[in-house]
Amino acid sequence: MSKIKVDIDRVNDLTPSFSQVATKVSNTTDNVASIRSQIDYRIKARHGIGDQLYKIYRMNYKRLKRICKS
């Protein structure tokens, strides 16, 4: 059976430091928050457009109804 020799200094150099990991987590959290706010904005915008289209539809429907009656 062969032995595996581990150089501790090399292992320490290869493992990421806590600050690097914390920075990556922070950046990922910021990116997720940014994407979430963009999605919320798009949903709100879509609802706003829907309300406006419905108002236009109702106005035109009422006008058509009046025209058809006369």
For residues 45 and 60, give the distance between their C-alpha atoms in angstroms, rounded to a whole number: 23
pLDDT digit string (tens) for 27-43?
888 888 888 888 887 77
Residue 57 pLDDT: 86
Choose among 59, 54, 44: nearest CA to 36: 44
Please state the domain extents for the chain. Answer: 19-69
Residue 70 pLDDT: 64
What mean pLDDT, rounded, does the chain reach?
79
pLDDT digit string (tens) for 10-30?
766 766 777 788 888 888 888
Residue 26 pLDDT: 86
Average pLDDT of the residues in 54-65? 84
Exposure b/e, 19-49, CB count within 10 A at least 16 = b: eeeeeeeeeeeeeeeeeeeeeeeeeeeeeee
